[in-house]
């Protein structure tokens, strides 16, 4: 699947965001090692700590469907260009990717799709 297609899916799912408190909608779409695609959006709760990021929602969907490794993630917000994953999501992504150097994080900057490695976004990551 082309990264532009992943981004389009992230754009579409961002419309389902439940973000009444922050007003910051986010959609994410992961490409699993199997070639399957899983999407998720952020959803908030009045107890803010219980809110879930779009990236972790999409990864959770992949895991719930039996996936163990993901290859790429597209992230989109209509509120901001270059919508990068938060630190918690970066660590969760690290848990389920084969290599930080080959895992691609795809963001939108205006009309352009940009690709970054997880190693660039999460230097010196850790594993058990």
- Catalytic positions are 55
Query: If 0-12 CB within 10 Å is exposed, 13-18 middle and 19+ buried, where does residue 23 land?
Result: exposed
Most distant CA atoms of the chain, gap in Å:
39
Our CA dihedral for 104, 27, 77, 46, rounded to 10 degrees, sits at -130
Q: Are the CB atoms for 101 and 74 separated by under 8 Å?
A: no
DSSP 25-70: --EEEEEETTS-EEEEE-B--SSGGG-B-HHHHHHHHHHHTT---E
């Amino acid at each position: 699947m082309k990264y532009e297609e992943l981004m389009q899916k992230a754009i579409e799912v961002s419309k389902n965001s439940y973000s009444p408190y922050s007003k910051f909608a986010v959609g994410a779409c992961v490409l699993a090692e199997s070639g399957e695609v899983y999407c998720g959006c952020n959803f908030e709760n009045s107890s803010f700590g219980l809110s879930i990021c779009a990236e972790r929602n999409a990864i959770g969907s992949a895991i719930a469907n039996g996936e163990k490794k993901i290859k790429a993630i597209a992230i989109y917000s209509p509120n901001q260009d270059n919508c990068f994953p938060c630190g918690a999501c970066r660590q969760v992504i690290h848990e389920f990717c084969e290599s930080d150097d080959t895992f691609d994080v795809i963001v939108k900057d205006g009309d352009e799709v940009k690709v970054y490695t997880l190693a660039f976004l999460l230097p010196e990551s850790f594993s058990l």
